[in-house]
Every structure is written in C-alpha cells, then in structure tokens.
C-alpha cells in the first residue's frame, strides 16, 4: 500500500466564521493515520479567506472519505473541496 498526498480547500460555514480557529481545530486532526503537512490561510475575495490543507495518508480504502468527514466535523466548516491528489 502506498501513500497519497491531498490538498484541500476548506471554507468556513459563513462569512463571519473565525477561520483561524477552524484552522487550529483542523491542525488537531493529525494522528498516526493522517499526517497533516501544512495548514495555510489563503485569501479568496472581499476579505474572505480559506484554509489550504496538505495531508498525507495511506492509500487505504475509505481513508480519504473518513478524513473528509473528520474535517467537516470540527465545526464551522462549510465546503471541503479536493484541489489536488496524487500518489507518493
């Protein structure tokens, strides 16, 4: 089994969401299975920002979906979009 690297775009639930607090909670998702490489705040438009998340995990069945559900469960998360995915 190989490793997969994924870059996510994570939006806040609305324009008033404290995106820095969401980023801190997302950083806390790192464990033995999900290796979070970087959590960056990027500008979007009109003062809005999004989280660009880089994570590496095993290429196991259901792990990508499981991680996305964990991200959505941290609170104040709106849209979670995969920007890039690739095998290492």
Taking only the tens place, the pLDDT of each residue in 6-43 is: 999 999 999 899 999 999 999 999 999 999 999 999 99
- CATH number assigned to the domain comprising residue 83: 3.30.70.60
Q: Are 22 and 87 in contact (CB under 8 A)?
A: no
Total domains in the fold of the chain: 1
The whole-number pLDDT of residue 15 equals 87
Domain of residue 48 covers: 3-87
pLDDT tens figures, 45-77: 888 999 999 999 999 899 999 999 999 999 999
What's the pTM value of the predicted model, to 2 decimals? 0.92
């Amino acid at each position: 089994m190989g490793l997969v690297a994924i870059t996510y775009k994570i939006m806040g639930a609305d324009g008033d969401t404290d995106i820095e607090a969401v980023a801190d909670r997302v950083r806390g998702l790192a464990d033995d299975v999900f290796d979070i490489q970087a959590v960056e705040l990027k500008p979007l438009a009109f003062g809005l920002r999004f989280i660009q998340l880089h994570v590496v995990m095993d290429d196991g069945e259901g792990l990508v979906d499981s991680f996305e559900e964990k991200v959505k469960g941290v609170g104040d998360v709106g849209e979670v979009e995969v920007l890039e995915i690739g095998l290492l």
